[in-house]
Amino acid sequence: MRSAHATQDTYRCLFHNVECAAKVGTPRTPAEYREVLARISADKRRQWYDWTRSIRENKHEDGWLQLHDVMQPVFDVSKLDLTATVKCKPIKLRLKDHCVTAVMCQIRTDHDKTLIRQSAMQKRTSLFALMFAEDGTLLNANQAALRKFGPDCLESNTFHLKDLFMEGCCPGGQAEAIAAYEKAYEACFKLGVESYRHPIPRISSKTGELKWSMMEMWPMTDPITGKPAVLVIVHNITQQKRLELQLAQRHEALQREKDALQQEARSLAQRLEAVIHDKFIPKSHIDADTPIDKTLNFLHAFIAGAEPSVQSALDIYHVLTESNTDLRQPVGLESQLLQKSSMDTEVGMSMLQLLTGPAAFREGTNPDPEGSSMPSRKSLSRQTSMLKGTDRCQQVLISEASISASLTPQLERMLQDADTNWQFDIFAFSAQAEGHALSLLSFHFFERFNVAEKFGMDPVKLATFVRVIEKGYDPQNPYHNSTHVASVVQMTHLLLHQGGVAKVMTDSQICSTYYAALIHDFEHLGVNNDYLIKTFHPLAVMYNDISPLENHHVAAAVRVMFRPECMFCQRLATDTALFRPVVVNQVLGTDMKKHFDITSRFQMLLKCADIGHLAAAPDTHKRWAYQLEEEFFQQGDREKEIGLPVSPLMDRSNKGGITRSQMGFFSIVGLPMFKAMADVFEGAQPMLDGVMANYRSWEAAAAAADNPG
Ligand SMILES: [Zn+2]
């Protein structure tokens, strides 16, 4: 064996012959060499023989072979860099007596690792990468593409870019495939796009299944010719397409489900609307929405996404222009109430009078020119004497002990019941309380709410004040007596704490609300404002006909509070400054003329409580209704006595009083207000339920009266 004869540094070794390696490793002798060959696998051995044969046949003159691939089966190359490549050249060596074929190897270990890895990646990838010239001929393809389209496709020059689009195209899809090819070709070679993507469906030649390929095209320049070319990468997106399809199907199913649900919701809403319509809108429907209500409804619908119609906008326009300037009064309430054939004229008149004032004083109507409806001087002097009756509560002496000493166990139980019962039996309680229902309930709630302590009030003076106020309610009034006020105080308490209104109020607002409920009808005269105005009663004169009763209730109660024995507020200036605006606002809001003008939840609360008997147990409610009717009859009696026309539904000699107008009152005043309350305060729902029950019972009674027998 000859030692290596290197002519250049890079020539590292010289094999003695192809069967014997000199330097790279063992074996050194033919015997050792055969031993190694016997140890390796038949496969590897065949590779080695092929390689040595190719060396002999001089096929590797310029070829770089990766050392790892070729040499490893035979040589221990672990000490060499696995990325080394070897260049081999067969040479004839003339020895003394014979010639041998040897091989000269140039081993390079500085080969570019990145290139080698790239090459390995190219071999490994399952993406097809093909390069086409501008005329569509295939310039090169990676191994995956060659495996797919056959190794000949490069040589034979028969595989065209168009074939790639046509390959496996669906039956009848040829025209579509050609169109897709033409579009892609134009984009890449004419329009100069940076890249172009086109998904194409294929039928798998193996399974016949539908598959999807993404054709990704990147215009480039052929590095050999310098002419335009395009790199086409094809990858399988079948899985992705399947997912897309599943998602689309799922989406479609969900959409169908959603449509069905929406349809169901719409029909439910329609049914609900129909039910509510039956429930809330009386047969003689009166449109009592004010222009502000209508405008707000229109805006709400618009905000909620409803398409506003020109007609609805026009309706609002007419409403706003017709209503003069009072946006808080219903439009045309008078004509609606008086002309609806379904509503008795007298009932309509009484509703109108209740909500807007007496006809003689309404704008645009002339007072009786003969003066026959004016009260006589004699009757006027009688009115003045009525005021004196309000002085009944001069002195009330009370001690702290006397507040609770009088409580029997039964009263205790009833007071507990009053805390939570929406259908509290106020008449039973009043009978037990012997004229002190109002003060007992007030003491109870004040104690519950800790009023005296919270506001640093003098408890004895507070109790005295309550008793004086209680005494100021005339027991002769069938309706506006202290039992009515006790009922209002209890309803106020329920709305505050069961209804949940207290949650949005400050302590001082809650305290003011109790106070307002307590004094809200103080020294009521048992006649309405219209009567006081028509008879030039001193209160009407004092308050210029503006809510004379309500103004008096508040002012007279404040005067009581200023009495030394009743001055329960120790910080009078600050506390009254805090209470008075709330109280004045709330109590003035109970005037029915202001029904459509109440704006704050404080006003709404006291108003609901004031007509809270609409929500009471049916017997209690009916009793209140008949007592109010009686009070109005008594007013009618007085009107007759002093020669005034009797107010509608107040003439006891006629066919009936206000119990005839209950359905109108419920549908125009009661139901909308309690519904508005329950809409905002869920806890007030039992109250609305009670009102509904009473409304239905009046409705049933009216139906029975219409169809006797
Ligand atoms: Zn009242």
Q: What's the CA-to-centroid distance between 610 and ligand 1, angstroms?
A: 5
Pairwise CA distance, residues 212 & 81, whole Å: 43
Of residues 480, 493, 497, 552, which has the active-site annotation? 480
Pairwise CA distance, residues 308 & 314, whole Å: 10
Q: What's the CA-to-centroid distance between 145 and ligand 1, angstroms?
A: 94
Q: Are 15 and 99 in contact (CB under 8 A)?
A: no
Q: What's the CA-to-centroid distance between 653 and ligand 1, angstroms?
A: 26
Q: What's the CA-to-centroid distance between 530 and ligand 1, angstroms?
A: 16
Report the pLDDT value the prediction gives residue 115, as an integer from 0 to 100. Answer: 72
Tell me the Ramachandran region of residue 633: left when phi exceeds 0, alpha when psi lies from -120 to 50, beta otherwise. alpha
Q: Which of 488, 496, 493, 491 is nearest to 518 (CA)?
A: 488
pLDDT in tens, 9-65: 333 344 544 444 433 443 345 666 667 677 777 777 777 777 777 766 766 555 555
pLDDT in tens, 543-556: 999 999 999 999 99
**What is the helix (H) or strand (E) element at residue 213, kind and residue range?**
strand 210-221
Catalytic residue status for 5: no
Q: Are 88 and 105 in contact (CB under 8 A)?
A: yes
Q: What's the CA-to-centroid distance between 465 and ligand 1, angstroms?
A: 19
Q: Which residues contact 342 (CB under 8 A, 6 or more apart)?
A: 283, 284
Q: What's the CA-to-centroid distance between 557 and ligand 1, angstroms?
A: 15
pLDDT in tens, 91-127: 665 656 665 555 666 655 555 667 777 777 877 888 8
Report the pLDDT value the prediction gives residue 297, as an integer from 0 to 100. Answer: 78
> Which residues make beta-bridge pairs with 530?
none
Ordered strands of the 11-15 beta sheet: 11-15, 99-108, 85-94, 64-66
Report the pLDDT value the prediction gives residue 61, as an integer from 0 to 100. Answer: 55
Tell me the Ramachandran region of residue 172: left when phi exceeds 0, alpha when psi lies from -120 to 50, beta otherwise. left
Which residues of the chain carry a pLDDT beneath 50?
Answer: 1-14, 16-28, 77-81, 278, 280-284, 341, 359-394, 401
Q: What's the CA-to-centroid distance between 611 and ligand 1, angstroms?
A: 7
Biggest CA–CA distance in the chain, Å, is: 169
Q: What's the CA-to-centroid distance between 375 and ligand 1, angstroms?
A: 27
Specify the pairing of strand 196-203 against strand 138-141. Answer: unpaired
Q: What's the CA-to-centroid distance between 480 and ligand 1, angstroms?
A: 6
Q: What's the CA-to-centroid distance between 477 and ligand 1, angstroms?
A: 12
Domains along the chain?
11-115 (no CATH), 125-236 (3.30.450.20), 270-356 (no CATH), 359-706 (1.10.1300.10)
Report the pLDDT value the prediction gives residue 283, as an integer from 0 to 100. Answer: 42
Report the pLDDT value the prediction gives residue 448, as an integer from 0 to 100. Answer: 86
Report the pLDDT value the prediction gives residue 104, as an integer from 0 to 100. Answer: 62
3-state secondary structure 438-480: HHHHHHHHHHHCCHHHHCCCCHHHHHHHHHHHHHCCCCCCCCC
Helices (H) and strands (E) in the chain, counts: 31, 9
Report the pLDDT value the prediction gives residue 66, as an integer from 0 to 100. Answer: 55
Q: What's the CA-to-centroid distance between 636 and ligand 1, angstroms?
A: 20
Report the pLDDT value the prediction gives residue 252, as an integer from 0 to 100. Answer: 92
Report the pLDDT value the prediction gives residue 320, as an integer from 0 to 100. Answer: 77
Q: What's the CA-to-centroid distance between 554 and ligand 1, angstroms?
A: 12
